[in-house]
Structure 1
Amino acid sequence: MRENNNNAVPQPHPLPNKKAVALKYEPSERIAPVVVAKGQGRIAESILEKATESGVPIQQDKSLVEVLSKLDLDQEVPPELYTLVAEVLSFVYRSDQRAGAKE
């Protein structure tokens, strides 16, 4: 006989369409930011978890993620995306400054 357990807590399932892209920008090494990680579903969740654990600010921009996810790993962001990525970097720098001020 099969027991029906209606009190079971549903386990979260990753959203298969959820995407994430991680960028690295070292002005002394490269002209533009570089894609260092990208993925969707469970991989996207893993990228976001690692960023959170490392204290890396996360910004949500579905349209930018869609475009950046088409780039290869270790590929520099193309010039036509500089303005959009600059907004993300500005967000990151402001977040870092606020975090530093709280310490």
Structure 2
Amino acid sequence: MADTRKKAAALRYDAKKDAAPKVVAKGSGKIAEKILEIAKEHNIPIRDDPQLVEVLSTLDIYQEIPPELYRAVAEILAFVYRMTKKVQ
């Protein structure tokens, strides 16, 4: 039976310090809801991508994303950049 609970993952990327974005939070159910709540409270853009969340949820906290995810995460970073430019 498939797991139908909501899942979430949060990424952080500091181009000056990090070689690649890192997973800084992940979880399902109540934890996913809390991650989304905190993101909304801090006006952090949220993108719904269940397939990417599935992959990110297999990584350890503070683990840099592997090269095979660079393209997918680059698309998210571009989305975040566009969203934050609209807000400013």
Shorter-chain TM-score tier: over 0.9
Give identity over the alignment, percent. 56
Listed as ranges, the gaps of 5+ residues in structure 2 are none
Q: Which residue is 1:18 aligned to?
A: 6
Quote how far apart the aligned CAs of 1:57 are. 0.2
Q: TM-score, normalised by structure 2?
A: 0.95
Quote how far apart the aligned CAs of 1:17 are. 1.3
Listed as ranges, the gaps of 5+ residues in structure 1 are 1-15
Match of 2:51 among 50, 54, 63: 63
What is the count of residue pairs matched by the alignment? 86
Question: Comparing both chains, which one has the higher relative contact order based on Cα–Cα distances under 8 Å and sequence gaps of 6 or more?
Answer: 2
RMSD of aligned alpha carbons: 1.2
1:46 pairs with 2:34? yes
Deviating beyond 2 angstroms after TM superposition, the runs of 4 or more aligned structure 1 residues are none
CA–CA distance in 1 between the matches of 2:68 and 2:31?
Answer: 27
Q: TM-score, normalised by structure 1?
A: 0.81
